[in-house]
Amino acid sequence: MKLRVKFFAVLAIILFVVSSCGCTTTKTKSTVTIEVDYPGSWAGSYGDLGSIRSVDGSGHQTFTISDPDFSVSAVFQKKDSSSGTMIVKIKQDGTVLKQESTSAAYGVVSVSTTL
């Protein structure tokens, strides 16, 4: 009986040390955002390997992808002939990973990145 108690005590100490030293690895959840900035109207799609979403909008909008798979991509098109600049950014946890822009009439912005 004493041997069993000692075994569990040692096991508890080992588990405590391993869990507190950072020796175990867990996947950290991240958030990726797609930011579209253009004063006029636009349409596009964005997503990761598991899901693509289509959207229409105008002005500055942000779209969130929670815990994305491997890569993220976005394609947006201006709906007018304006020479204004449309900017599309992919951010992860607030840091810009990739950014593209266009000033062309009915211009298209395509941006993608591997995480």
Task: Tell me how far the alpha carbon of residue 10 is from its chain's centroid.
Answer: 42
Of the CA atoms within 13 Å of residue 31, those in its CB half-sphere come to 7
SS3 68: coil
Given a cut of 90, whether residue 97 has pLDDT beyond it is yes
Rounded CA separation 19/63 (Å): 35
Contacts of 93 (CB under 8 A, 6+ apart): 30, 31
Quote the pLDDT of residue 18. Answer: 46
What's the token pair of residue 10? 């040692």
Given a cut of 80, whether residue 108 has pLDDT beyond it is yes
How open is the CA angle 83-44-48, to the nearest 5 degrees? Answer: 135
Catalogue all structural domains in the chain, each as residue range(s) with its CATH number.
31-114 (2.60.40)
Rounded CA separation 63/52 (Å): 12
Quote the pLDDT of residue 28. Answer: 60
Q: Average pLDDT in the 12-33 region?
A: 58
* Amino acid letter, residue 100: E
SS3 25: coil
Q: Alpha helix (H) ranges present in the chain?
A: 2-21
Quote the pLDDT of residue 93. Answer: 87
pTM above 0.85, yes or no: no
